[in-house]
Amino acid sequence: MSTEHVDVLIVGAGLSGIAAAYHLQHKCPGKRFAILEGRGAIGGTWDLFRYPGIRSDSDMYTLGYSFKPWTDPKAIADGPQILNYVKDTATENGIDRHIRFHHRVRRAAWSSADARWTVEVERRTEQGTTETVLITCGFLFMCSGYYRYEAGYLPDFKGMADFKGRIVHPQAWPEDLDYAGKRVVVIGSGATAVTLVPAMARTAAHVTMLQRSPTYVVSRPAQDALANKLRRHLPASLAYHLIRWRNVLFGMYFFQLSRRKPQRVKQLILGGVRAALGPDYDIATHFTPRYNPWDQRLCLVPDGDLFKTIREQRASVVTAGIESFTARGLRLSDGRELEADVIVTATGLVLQVLGGIEVMVDGRKVDFAKTLNYKGMMYSDVPNLAATLGYTNASWTLKCDLTCEYVCRLLNYMDRHGYRQCMPHNDDASVTPLPSLSFSSGYVQRAVADLPKQGSKRPWRLYQNYALDIISLRFGKVDDGVMRYS
Ligand SMILES: Cc1cc2nc3c(=O)[nH]c(=O)nc-3n(C[C@H](O)[C@H](O)[C@H](O)COP(=O)(O)OP(=O)(O)OC[C@H]3O[C@@H](n4cnc5c(N)ncnc54)[C@H](O)[C@@H]3O)c2cc1C
């Protein structure tokens, strides 16, 4: 078993891992780093998900990196475009040379005496066997996303084995699935379902979106006319940052309005749906959620594609529970039967903390459910470890970029002062632990008890607010009295 040492070990070669490497290259030029990637490809989410129509549900001016302008005319981009953007960033900056594919991190153990992590990695060899590799590092930077890669969430539906057609989960889309001319039922009404329905309806005989309860659905233009105009007249980077800020500010305004005047925002969204589907459509049943806007993520549909497909009767929405699968389709809780050749279970993700790795600190196993999240990136009493996590109410990359910048500031500060360990620690008894996510969505509620907590005040509080995070992460002191250096 060989042991190698690097200064910073990045786990994950998705959008965040590539950002982390870029920031390290530019802000901590002397640091030796490596990227370990469990899969055989760059891109994480944007490589894994292959279902028809896969696309972003936020605009690329905020989902793009701060340091690489998004220049495609499409603001709501297709999955392969996003994947190419991430890959291009990696190759243009020579980051791809630092990636070790088929290296899955299983365990990390911190030793305060050595001020080092020893990381246990399962490496898949060219012969298809696995071997264990040990790597030590001074700082562990987890860019491993927020959900389990192996399989998505699948409720235990009654009678699934009886169904004679094909059952497919969007997280494991079979390449050979031919649904042309077939009757498709998509179970779910989240971001994935509203993407799949219009995409599959192009060739399917009919697509039914079967939802237990409705979601807020908002239409936005796929292309941003102002952005495209600005790009013709201004340097790419200037145009990008202007539109990025406009979108950030609009997103923050809309979120705040939803919190303060939920009824007004609700009427605004439902007005949009009514205009798209016409006065006779039963919006109360199919598009009026029981919760307020932003109690769960809103679903974005580019150019109203979902509504258009419904109007053209190539797709329809059914709102009811599932009693059981049958040989020919589904029996619903209201007694109706839905016949199908293909059933897509767009039932969501399984949230996972830090890529499912086991973490030990000086021989003690860390229970992350008992830790407090420091500035949305580090964990109480866990030294030299940060994780990139995005916002729930804005694009992932906004927070990811800030986290990477902050980690670089932290590493440079430690180098300047000769410190080898940094660890956030709470000794303020008035800080109370709170759930880290307030969404009422099923995937959040299923996992929230196992997730790290946020605290009731700074720096443990998660504001989900880009402007406040800029102040805290870009300009706030790294030696804030809570971070312990040694
Ligand atoms: C279908 C879908 C659509 C989305 N659309 C949007 C959107 O429009 N806007 C938005 O802001 N967000 C969106 N998100 C959230 C999205 O995940 C983020 O935007 C972003 O891609 C996350 O990047 P990441 O690199 O942090 O994580 P990921 O993309 O999840 O990549 C993590 C990488 O880490 C690797 N990894 C994990 N654990 C280990 C381990 N133990 N050892 C080694 N490697 C490991 C994985 O193999 C993977 O390559 C979407 C998510 C999904 C699932």
What is the reported pLDDT for 407?
A: 98
At 386, the pLDDT band (50, 70, 90 cuts) reads very high
CA distance 120 to 2: 11
DSSP secondary structure string, 397-453? HHHHHHHHHHHHHHHHHHHHHT---EEE----TT--EE-S-----HHHHHHGGGSPB
Token pair 């005319």 is found at: 73
Q: Partners of 285 in the beta sheet?
A: none
What is the reported pLDDT for 2?
A: 61
Q: Is 355 in the pocket of ligand 1 (CB under 6 A)?
A: yes
Q: Is 184 in the pocket of ligand 1 (CB under 6 A)?
A: no
Res 143 pLDDT > 60:
yes
Instruction: Report how far ligand 1's centroid is from the alpha carbon of 311 (Å).
Output: 33
Q: Which residue's alpha carbon is nearest to atom 39 within ligand 1?
A: 355
Instruction: Report how far ligand 1's centroid is from the alpha carbon of 269 (Å).
Output: 28
CA distance 348 to 443: 7
Q: Which residue's alpha carbon is nearest to atom 17 within ligand 1?
A: 45
Q: Partners of 55 in the beta sheet?
A: 78
Instruction: Report how far ligand 1's centroid is from the alpha carbon of 157 (Å).
Output: 27
Residue among 82, 89, 144, 393 to mutate when testing ligand 1 (max atoms within 8 A of CB)? 144
Res 356 pLDDT > 70:
yes
At 392, the pLDDT band (50, 70, 90 cuts) reads confident
Sequence-ordered list of residues with C-beta below 8 angstroms from that of 61, at least 6 positions apart, any chain = 70, 75, 224, 227, 240, 243, 244, 247
What is the reported pLDDT for 438?
A: 76
Structure letter (DSSP) for residue 474:
I
- Average the pLDDT over 1-17 and give the result: 92
Q: Is 14 in the pocket of ligand 1 (CB under 6 A)?
A: yes
Res 365 pLDDT > 80:
yes
- Average the pLDDT over 394-421 and give the result: 97
Instruction: Report how far ligand 1's centroid is from the alpha carbon of 117 (Å).
Output: 24
Instruction: Report how far ligand 1's centroid is from the alpha carbon of 103 (Å).
Output: 17
Res 270 pLDDT > 80:
yes
Range name among 228-232, 368-372, 410-414 with the lowest pLDDT average = 228-232
Percentage of the chain modeled with pLDDT above 70: 100
Counting from 1 in the atom list of ligand 1, the atom nearest the Cα of 192 is 1
Token pair 């009026």 is found at: 288
Counting from 1 in the atom list of ligand 1, the atom nearest the Cα of 18 is 25
At 449, the pLDDT band (50, 70, 90 cuts) reads confident
Structure letter (DSSP) for residue 297:
P
What is the reported pLDDT for 447?
A: 84
290-333, pLDDT tens digit by residue? Answer: 999 988 889 999 999 999 999 999 999 999 999 999 999 999 99
Q: Is 143 in the pocket of ligand 1 (CB under 6 A)?
A: yes
Counting from 1 in the atom list of ligand 1, the atom nearest the Cα of 147 is 30
At 196, the pLDDT band (50, 70, 90 cuts) reads very high
- Average the pLDDT over 340-346 and give the result: 98
Q: Is 144 in the pocket of ligand 1 (CB under 6 A)?
A: yes
Counting from 1 in the atom list of ligand 1, the atom nearest the Cα of 195 is 1
What is the reported pLDDT for 169?
A: 97
Counting from 1 in the atom list of ligand 1, the atom nearest the Cα of 391 is 11
Q: Which residue's alpha carbon is nearest to atom 51 within ligand 1?
A: 45
Instruction: Report how far ligand 1's centroid is from the alpha carbon of 74 (Å).
Output: 21
Which tokens go with 174? 């079979």
Average pLDDT, the chain: 95
With 0-12 / 13-18 / 19 or more C-beta atoms within 10 angstroms meaning exposed / middle / buried, residue 218 is: middle
pTM value > 0.75: yes
The four Cα atoms 5, 8, 11, 12 give a dihedral, to 10 degrees, of -120
Residue among 42, 396, 464 to mutate when testing ligand 1 (max atoms within 8 A of CB)? 396
The four Cα atoms 468, 60, 244, 26 give a dihedral, to 10 degrees, of 70
Counting from 1 in the atom list of ligand 1, the atom nearest the Cα of 394 is 11
CA distance 87 to 263: 42
Instruction: Report how far ligand 1's centroid is from the alpha carbon of 280 (Å).
Output: 40
CA distance 456 to 458: 7
At 401, the pLDDT band (50, 70, 90 cuts) reads very high
What is the reported pLDDT for 116?
A: 97
- Three-class DSSP category at 96: helix
Give the type of residue at 402: L
Res 1 pLDDT > 60:
no
Q: Is 214 in the pocket of ligand 1 (CB under 6 A)?
A: no
Percentage of the chain modeled with pLDDT above 90: 93
Which domains does the chain carry?
A: 3-149+350-485 (3.50.50.60), 161-345 (3.50.50.60)
Q: Partners of 226 in the beta sheet?
A: none
106-131, pLDDT tens digit by residue? Answer: 999 999 999 999 999 999 998 989 99
Q: Is 289 in the pocket of ligand 1 (CB under 6 A)?
A: no
Sequence-ordered list of residues with C-beta below 8 angstroms from that of 16, at least 6 positions apart, any chain = 44, 143, 145, 388, 396, 400, 404
